[in-house]
Amino acid sequence: MSDTGANTAKAARPLSRGGPLDALRFFAAFFIVVYHYAEQAPVSLFAIHPAFGRGYLATDFFLLLSGYVLGRAYGSRVSAGQIHDGAFLIKRIGRVWPAHLVMIAAFVVLVLGTTALGMQPRNPQWYQWDQLPQQVFLIQTWGFQGPSGWNMPTWTLSALLVCYALFPTIWRMFGKIRSPWMALLVGAAVFVAVDVFSRQVFGMPSFHLHLKNGLYRAIPLFLMGVLIARMAREVVIGPRLADALAIFAVVGFVVLNVVGEYAYPSLVLLGLLIFAASGSAQNGWAWAKTGGRLSFSLYLTNQFVGAVWFALQRQLGQKIELHEAAHWAIWAMAFPAALVFAWLFERLVDAPLQDWIKPRLEKATAGWGGKRERNQAAQAMVTTLR
């Protein structure tokens, strides 16, 4: 098979740091930040070009990518019965929940502090105290009423907790379909069926849903990401073809969204981009390695940074008459501020928390073993008794 062809017999490239996957994780998180900060610009980016208003695609990309990463990292272990479903879920909760709690506490301190100083939140509907428990326990997408504000982007984490719980079952169920192409086709049919249901019941496509109906949006996209991961494991493409497909996907995505709103083709191209990343030989990008590490923290903290940054910008604008160029410059500086804060959060909060939590979760779930491990233990016991 040539370097540019596809081959189901080759071994898939292992996930590695500093490659296309880390780059994609960073860009997905950063595009979400752009979307969140767009309306705070002196002239809303949404008014400059409609493409800036399609931030839902960045979130959808994040959900696709989440399914892909889990499929590549844990799929083979699930197939081999080496992972206990409950232990897997607890470890995934342990990965996202502690850092989330720290940021929720930061929002509570911010709201209480600014209120004590006589500064009311610009969007008070986002900080309703009766919505806080849902945010704390990450259940705001499970059908609850209300705006579910506070740290708004965490609605995807709420939905992903359900996806994590479903992942082993999804992998095993679709593993019964022998062809990865047929499995992907079935997954696409599920996605379309949920989308049709969403349009009929909620009056909008599934990939526009969020907050209390976020599960209808997240699960099909996560499923597609998982199936792309299976495809990447079983249909291996050469590096040159992978890079060509990635360029095609990126250029096609940009052109489509400059021309108009083509959500389905855009999602297909994003899925193709993720698949292409699996075959690329590019690696060793220090910036991508750093960006991949920052992606979760950037996603988790950007709303907090934006709330503080733009509140300070408004206060400054009330005290000093600023030229429009100065407003643009201050607005633009919010992005490096978000990156710096995410870096500090990752180094000083998230990484130390994980260093403390991981060994304890490993110890707590050590006896839960996967099916193969339990079978081996049972066989060893039978041998001993004989």
122-171 confidence digits (pLDDT tens): 777 788 888 888 889 998 888 766 656 788 888 889 999 999 999 999 99
The predicted-structure confidence for 289-334, as pLDDT tens digits, reads as follows 888 888 899 999 999 999 899 888 888 877 887 787 888 899 999 9
CB 232 within 8 A of CB 10: no
Whole-number average pLDDT of the chain: 84
Q: Is the pLDDT of residue 384 over 50?
A: no
Q: pLDDT value at position 300?
A: 93
Confidence of residue 279 (pLDDT cuts 50, 70, 90): confident
Report the distance separating Cα 180 and Cα 353, nearest Å: 38
State the Cα torsion 292-16-93-164 to the nearest 10°.
Answer: 110
Give the Cα separation of 69 and 229 in Å (integer). 7
